Structures are given as C-alpha cells and as structure tokens.
C-alpha cells in the first residue's frame, strides 16, 4: 500500500489507504458531470471528469453544441497516487466551497474550445435514490448520485470567439459506485441481456425551486429507478410529490423526443427539448470503441479533439440525448436538463 495526501484527512471508510476503494470491482468509478446554457437554443456545454481507481485511469471531456457545431475535447492519463489531483491534461476541477461552489477549467488548447467557469448552487445538493441493477447474477449498477441546479459565471472561448457567461443556468451531479466502464469485458451470460435502456432524467430549474425527476424502466416496463422531489432554494424539500409518469411524443419514425408530459401527482409538467446534444458522440460514454470512460490510453497523457457538423454528420448522432429543456407547470416557466434515451424493446413501442 502507498500513502497519498488524502490519508492525512480523517475520512477513511475502510482499512485501506484512501487511494484504494473498498471494492475490487473493476467498474468502480467516481465522476463529475456539469452542463451550462443560457436557457435557449444558442449553446449548451457539457463537461465531465472521472476517476477509475481499479483501472488506474482518470479522464475528462467537454462537448459543446452551438448552431450546427458538435465539438469535443477529451483527455486521459494514468491516475497515479494522488486522487486529490483532478487535473487531466488541460482540464481541472477545483472545489471552492464543498456542495456549493466549484471552478471548472479547460485551458486554451489546439482544439478550439476552452473555458474558465465558476459554478454556484441554487439549491442544496440533493442525494438521489441508490441505483442498483443486477442482471444474470452480475451487479451492473450499484451507485449513488447527488444533483444540484445552479448558475455559472465566467467565459467560454470557441474558435477564438469569447462568449461571456453571466448567470447562465445549469445542473450538475456527482456520482460514484459501480457501472460499466473501461475496456469491454467478455459478455458470457450477459449476451442474453435485451439491451433495453428506457430513461428520463429531468432536473428542472425554476425561479425559487427545482424539481428533480428520474424514470428508468426495463424491457417489460417495470420500474428500475424513480424519483420526483421538489427542492426549494431555502433548503426545504418535498420528498414525495407522487409517482412520476412520463409520456414522450416522438418524431415520426424515430425515438427523438419533440415534446413530453411528466405527471407527478397533481403536477403536470410540459417539457420541450430546445437544443439536443448527443452526449455519447465523442465523449467516452460508449459509442467509440477506442475511447470509453476509464479506457487505458497509454502511459503518456493524451488530449484529443473531435468536431462534427450537422446535418452532414447526423448519422453519427444517436444514443443518449442531453437537451436544454423548457419546463412549464402551474404558470411557471423553467429550464434545465432533459436527458432521455429509448433503446431496445419497451411496451410503449409495441
């Protein structure tokens, strides 16, 4: 065992040094996710950084959607001994005030995207339900996540154009636990998995509160995970609003959502995705065989850029969609993340 700076803090959870996690599961991860937008169809920026202690890797990405542009900058390195070091190439994340203020930086680089942004939470960080999925005897997901809506300040530089960011909106989450990461494993009996991922994740930001909503169902329409909670800026939390019911409307011949209704008890929220970002394209979430979260890219740090344009590259744009969403209920209008994916069989498609 080797010590690291974390071991000087009274935070141990197991008879191990802090750089080692309490499980030997290769798929353990610890990740940041942020999105940033002005509440319009002008631009959306998504940033992520993860550590994969049992794979010895850390990586980061940023993707921006602006007009017809889909641009990604991504970086990877060996994790090393110090898990307090969040730098990955030109990326770094600084916790300025725990659960409240963070700084997210992508230093200038050759790939045409950089930023220096400060996040301030608008509601208390909120712990979501534990996400647990066992399939064919293997635990596929066992993770927890905290979520928060808030505001951004700073600037984004895109192709030499500086875009001021002043009280832009966004959501962030921190999740850790077990989920598929790294190089593909031999499927074994998992080859029988139907491959369904029917998912809605909608953190909605209103003037003085947020609604955090999650729906996941399996191939038979059974609930795997659900959440519907209203959190007020002053810290009040309504933990049970009712069972969320999700009713999307798809563009003809596709599974692209054009509008949706979420009913939560007596609340009916009308949802409109106004700027879709294809989260899985170039970022490491799973479409490129050579670049996945936690995948070892070699002993030397790697920084890459990927640029696509629409509609020319529309055939690449599939998978999970993270859209800027417009949300309306009871005369109130808010914005936030409208994240969805409808993959594989599900009763709503029969």
Q: What is the mean pLDDT of the chain?
A: 95
Question: What's the predicted TM-score (pTM) here?
Answer: 0.96
- Between the CA atoms of 326, 329, 332 and 334, what dihedral angle is there, to the nearest 10 degrees? -20
CB 336 within 8 Å of CB 204: yes
CB 281 within 8 Å of CB 287: yes
- Predicted confidence at residue 136, as pLDDT, reads 87
The CA-atom distances, in angstroms, between 79 and each of 30, 46, 143, 285, 302 are: 12, 22, 21, 19, 13
Higher pLDDT, 330 or 192: 330
CB 146 within 8 Å of CB 130: no
Domains in the chain, please, with CATH?
Answer: 27-183+194-349 (2.40.370.10)
- Predicted confidence at residue 190, as pLDDT, reads 82
pLDDT more than 90, % of the chain: 90
Closest CA to 229 of 260, 202, 207: 202
Beta bridge partners of 231: 210, 237
Average pLDDT over residues 293-302: 98
Closest CA to 133 of 46, 216, 14: 216
User: Is residue 3 exposed (0-12), middle (13-18) or buried (19+ Cβ within 10 Å)?
Assistant: exposed
CB 40 within 8 Å of CB 323: no
């Amino acid at each position: 065992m080797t010590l690291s700076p974390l071991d000087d803090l009274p935070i141990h959870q197991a008879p191990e040094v802090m750089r080692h996690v309490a499980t030997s599961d290769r798929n353990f991860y610890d990740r940041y996710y942020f999105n940033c937008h002005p509440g319009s169809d002008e631009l959306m920026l998504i940033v992520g950084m993860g550590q994969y202690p049992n794979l010895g890797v850390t990586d980061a990405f940023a993707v921006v959607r602006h007009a017809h542009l889909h641009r990604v900058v991504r970086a990877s390195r060996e994790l090393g001994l110090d898990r307090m070091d969040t730098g990955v190439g030109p990326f770094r994340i600084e916790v300025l005030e725990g659960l409240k203020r963070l700084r997210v930086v992508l230093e200038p680089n050759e790939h045409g995207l950089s930023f220096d942004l400060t996040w301030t939470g608008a509601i208390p960080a909120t712990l979501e339900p534990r996400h647990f999925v066992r399939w064919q005897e293997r635990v596929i997901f066992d993770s927890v996540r905290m979520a928060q809506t808030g505001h951004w300040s700073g600037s984004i530089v895109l192709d030499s154009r500086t875009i001021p960011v002043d009280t832009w909106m966004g959501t962030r989450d921190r999740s850790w636990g077990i989920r598929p990461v790294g190089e593909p494993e031999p499927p074994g009996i998992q080859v029988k998995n139907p491959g369904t991922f029917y998912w809605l994740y909608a953190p909605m930001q209103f003037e003085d509160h947020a609604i955090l909503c999650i729906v996941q169902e399996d191939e038979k329409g059974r609930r795997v995970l659900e959440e519907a909670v209203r959190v007020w800026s002053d810290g009040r939390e309504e933990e049970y609003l009712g069972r969320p019911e999700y009713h999307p409307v798809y563009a003809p011949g596709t599974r692209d959502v054009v509008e949706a209704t979420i009913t939560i008890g007596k609340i009916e929220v009308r949802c409109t995705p106004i700027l879709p970002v294809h989260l899985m394209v170039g970022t490491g979430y799973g479409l490129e065989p050579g670049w996945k979260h936690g995948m070892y890219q070699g002993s030397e740090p790697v920084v890459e850029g990927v640029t696509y344009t629409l509609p020319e590259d529309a055939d690449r744009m599939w998978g999970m969609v993270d859209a800027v969403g417009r949300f309306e209920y009871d005369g109130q209008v808010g914005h936030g993340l409208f994240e969805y994916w409808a993959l594989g069989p599900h009763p709503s498609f029969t």
